[in-house]
Amino acid sequence: MTSFGVLGTGVVGRTLSARLAELGSDVMVGARTADSASLEPFGALGVKTGSFADAVAHADVIINATNGSHTLAALESAGPLAGKTLIDVSNELEPVEGGFPKPLASADDSLGQRIQAAFPDLYVVKSLNTMNCTVMADPSSVPGDHVVFLSGDDADAKDRTREVLALMGWRPEQMIDLGGIDTAAAVEMTMSLWMRVTVARGNDAPRFNWAING
Report the interface residues with its own copies, using CB under 8 A: 100, 102-104, 106-108, 142-146, 149, 176-179, 183, 185-187, 189-190, 192-193, 195-197, 199-201, 205-214
171 versus 196: smaller Cβ distance to its own copies: 196
What residue type is 8 in one-letter code? G
Give whichever of 9 and 183 is closer to its own copies, judged by the CB atom: 183
Nearest to 187 by CA among 213, 160, 152: 152
CB of 104 to its own copies, least distance (A): 8
Name the residue nearer to its own copies (CB basis): 10 or 106: 106
Least spacing, CB of residue 188 vs its own copies, in Å: 9
3-class SS of residue 28: strand
Q: How far is the CB of 5 from its own copies (least distance, A)?
A: 29
Nearer to its own copies, 1 or 200 (CB): 200
Q: Are 5 and 63 in contact (CB under 8 A)?
A: yes
73/205 with CB nearer its own copies: 205
Least Å distance, CB 200 to its own copies, is 6
**Dihedral (Cα; 157, 186, 111, 2), 10-degree rounding:** -20
Task: Give the nearest distance from C-beta 176 to its own copies in angstroms.
Answer: 6
Q: For residue 23, what is the DSSP state?
A: T
Q: How many CB atoms lie within 10 A of CB 60?
A: 14
Q: Report whether 109 contacts 204 (CB < 8 A).
A: no
- Short-list 195, 194, 203, 198, CA closest to 149: 194
* Cα 91–Cα 76–Cα 106 angle in degrees, nearest 5: 30
